[in-house]
Amino acid sequence: MAEIQRLIETSDLKTSLWNDTAKNRNIKPCIFYNDQVDAFTFLIVTPNTPKIIHYIDEYVALLYNPESMEVIGIRVEAFECKFIPKYAKLQKAWRLSDSVKELCDFGDLIIEARKRETIVVDELSKITHNIVEKQGFKLPVPEFV
C-alpha cells in the first residue's frame, strides 16, 4: 500500500473531548457498521457532527472535527474481512455464535448485542490506543458502560 498522504499530522489533533469521555463512563458511543463497505465506526458525539477521516494505518482512522481538531471517533475499514481476524478478543466479541446463552427471541438478541457492543468498542479502543501510541500520540482508552 502506498504511503498515506495526511492533510495534517496526527500530533496536531486534540484529545480534550476524548479524554473527558475516557473519564466519564456514562457516555454511550454511537456505533455503526456498514456491511456494504465493511466499515465499523464509533463516535463520542452525535452522528451529524462534521468529521474528517485521518488514517493512522491501512485500516484504522481517527475521526476529528475540522473546526475544533478534536478526536471524536474511530473508523475501521475492511473490518470483518481483514481487521477482525488479526485480533482474537475482538473477533470473539463480534461473533454472536460465541454467545454463552442461547438466543431465544428478539429481546435476547438486543440484550446480547448491547453487551457485545460495549466489548467491541472497548477492544477497538485498546487496539487503536496501541497503534497511535507507536506513533508517539496519546489517546486514552475510554471504558463505556
pLDDT tens-place values along the chain, 145 residues long = 456 667 788 889 999 888 887 677 667 789 999 999 999 999 999 999 999 999 999 999 999 999 999 999 999 999 999 999 999 989 988 887 766 677 788 888 888 888 888 888 889 989 998 999 988 888 888 765 4
DSSP class of residue 98 equals G
Q: Under a CB-based contact definition with an 8 Å cutoff, are residues 87 and 123 in contact?
A: yes
- Residue 136 CA, chain-centre distance (Å), reads 19
Report the predicted TM-score, pTM, of the whole model to 2 decimal places: 0.86
**112-142 burial code (b ≥16 CB/10 A, e <16):** eeeebbbebbbbbbebbbebbeeeebebeeb
Q: Which residues contact 49 (CB under 8 A, 6 or more apart)?
A: 43, 65, 72
